[in-house]
Chains A and B, each alone.
Chain A
């Protein structure tokens, strides 16, 4: 038992660090470090930079243009990116639809879509949730009716992140109403420019436009854009969720937030002393730091088990999702309290309070905390 990285892993870390030192644009870094929102061009610019280095999707197999990174390499990469202030790559294309295409997609789908994901040419978004289908995803009702070589899709998707930027959306649609709800679902790829697709912004509690409703009004989608078999979409969706959760703890992100919190406490003044001198406040930092320390090791234990066995993580990642989402919420809440009354103004250059409001989403999205506990109870504990 030891907690040391191998010499190869350490040299990989040095390589990533050197790359970030020269290639990360300072204006993007400052925005990330200041918890400011990135625009579409920031995110695409960074993806193109990574693509140029051969790191457009490090975890992907080499034959699809990836770098065949181990889980530890990906972890080191994420950690260094977070520390340097580089944006986290969005998961929808690289970590969600791509693994589904690699595993269940046709050769034509793989050849067309995967290179365009790597280069950033295609921005993908996710069409899962519906107004009536949240945690109970299998109850979804968006219908795809076969008409010759096309499906005609009608319905509504919601809580769709960055749909306003997206070129493509991957959707779960209902292709059969008989039988168990899970058995009539198919996995469709839809061009956002297709007639009948419309996007309506949803403004969240922080006043931001991050998520959307997506409406499908008799949208004609070629059958060749279905992934895998008809009515087998639920299997692919579950596969996807497993991949979505591989970096669910967000350790690097939490560490950056912790560092920012400590900086704020050390530099902000309370009655003529730094806030850091207030042991009540410092103890709150200490508690969340210890929770994060424990989670970092728990996460590394899961990665270690993955690297010794299969790459797909088991249901124990639900624990990482629960803890990681709670920790980032707590860290940003403490940042807000470090600001004190300065957290009150609603101004574009003081994003912390808005971020606190925004991050309530983390215990709700991608399987709420309560759903994750159901998963643990059923699949880990056998209850």
Chain B
């Protein structure tokens, strides 16, 4: 049993932390968020230089062949640095999906480009009426000769505005919520009939609703077998959820550090407010929550690559549910303990809090995942 990052993972974190301090401080981050793009192109190029984009991509496609724990190490720093770039969408989510499920020729065409920082992707899977249910697909896919024709609407597609391609789920058979009949397509964002209604998110990055009006793609745009994409999607989203758990960990640690410093430096009634027992105990609770969150982020990471879908889902949903509520506690308390300073835009505390809130709202909130966990078989009944 070993809970340490490898020396390579620690070195990567160290490099990333120094890069953030130099090129991605909070003021720069604010400027990136306010720019039309919503992130920094130069930073994305640095991600490529630092090897982050190649990390989880197999070596055969110009990647470094990293695993989910490598991704955890990076995502912790994505959280700590409040990084805005579409790393999760492009590399973890879509990169992971293509790695597991795309044809060799599609992998050849896309994965090296992702690793080199020349290509961005976004996952267009969720629909307004389906909330967090990947099987809820009303968007239609009709086969017409050698072409597929796509029609429908996808909502809150993270990082859609900057993506070169979208991975779009559409129904080629069955009823709207059937597990069977969901197909997945690679669609250029500039395809005719595809419109992105772009907006910023509450945490400063970009997203959009995607309208598909008779978008046509060729047969080789299909990923996996027709109608059989749900398992592929769930696996990729499980991996991305594990990555979000690690991002939340990075934020929680940063928030605890900021809050602890504030308790030691802020004086009222002539003494540091950290001398008040009510606040000390709250901070102790936040410390305990962070320890528990780290443990659950580890559970998520070591299970993200598990083939058995039931085992993987139970572990990842358990972690996402736990971290959803525990990180909410830390975020709200960090704001509270900063007093009015916690609610201003110019201090990073509110930005950390908002990002934590959105992490919970992404790919299923704590209630959604608690239900998924709770509905799974009871597990060990012998106490082992």
A residues sitting closer than 8 Å to B (CB atoms) are 1-6, 72, 79, 82-83, 252, 255-256, 258-260, 262-263, 266, 276, 279, 282-283, 285-287, 289-291, 293-298, 300-301, 304, 316, 319, 322-323, 370, 372-374, 376-377, 380-383
Contacts and interface: CB of A to CB of B under 8 A. Distances in A.
Interface stretch (B172-180, B275-283, B349-357): B275-283
Nearest to A297: B295
B280 A374 contact: yes
A1 B4 contact: yes
A319 B280 contact: no
B288 A322 contact: yes
Contacts of A282: 374-375
Contacts of A296: 295
Given A259-B383, A297-B296, A298-B295, A283 B374 contact: yes
Interface string B268-297: 000000110100110111011001111110
B378 A3 contact: no
Given A83-B382, A259-B381, A370-B281, A376 B296 contact: no
B383 A83 contact: yes
A355 to B, nearest CB: 16
Contacts of A370: 281
Interface residues of B, number: 45
A301 B3 CA distance: 6
Nearest to B374: A286
Nearest to B276: A383
Interface stretch (B183-191, B197-205, B298-306, B338-346): B298-306
Interface-central residue, A266, A316, A370, A381, by most chain B CB under 10 Å: A381
Nearest 9 A-B pairs (CB), nearest first?
A: A297-B295, A377-B280, A286-B374, A256-B383, A373-B284, A83-B383, A294-B292, A376-B284, A259-B383
Nearest to B67: A1
A290 B302 contact: no
Interface string B16-44: 00000000000000000000000000000
B384 A301 contact: no
B382 A259 contact: yes
Interface in B311-360: 318, 321-322
B284 A294 contact: no
B284 A290 contact: no
Contact of A279 (B281, B292, B302, B374): B374
Contact of B292 (A2, A286, A298, A304): A298
Interface SS, B side: helix
Nearest to A318: B284
Contacts of A72: 1
B287 A3 contact: no
A1 B298 contact: yes
Interface SS, A side: helix
A341 B269 CA distance: 52
Contact of B288 (A285, A287, A319): A319
Given A259-B381, A381-B283, A382-B260, 6 more contacts: A83-B382, A289-B318, A293-B295, A294-B296, A373-B281, A373-B285
Contacts of B263: 383
Contacts of B321: 286, 290
A285 B301 contact: no
9 contacts: A1-B302, A5-B1, A6-B1, A279-B371, A297-B298, A319-B287, A377-B281, A381-B280, A381-B287
A247 to B, nearest CB: 16
A285 B5 CA distance: 32
Contacts of A262: 378-379, 381
B322 A294 contact: yes
Contact of B69 (A1, A286, A287): A1
A276 B374 CA distance: 10
B264 interface: yes
A382 B264 contact: yes
B126 interface: no
Interface-central residue, B263, B280, B288, B301, by most chain A CB under 10 Å: B288
Nearest to B5: A1
A266 B379 CA distance: 12
Given A1-B5, A290-B373, A298 B318 contact: no
Nearest to B290: A319
A383 B275 contact: yes
Contact of B381 (A5, A263, A285, A301): A263
Contact of A82 (B3, B280, B292, B383): B383
A376 to B, nearest CB: 4
B2 interface: yes
Contacts of A258: 383
Contacts of B115: none
A296 B198 CA distance: 43
A182 B352 CA distance: 44
Interface string B76-93: 000000000000000000
Given A286-B370, A291-B322, A316 B1 contact: no
Contacts of A372: 284
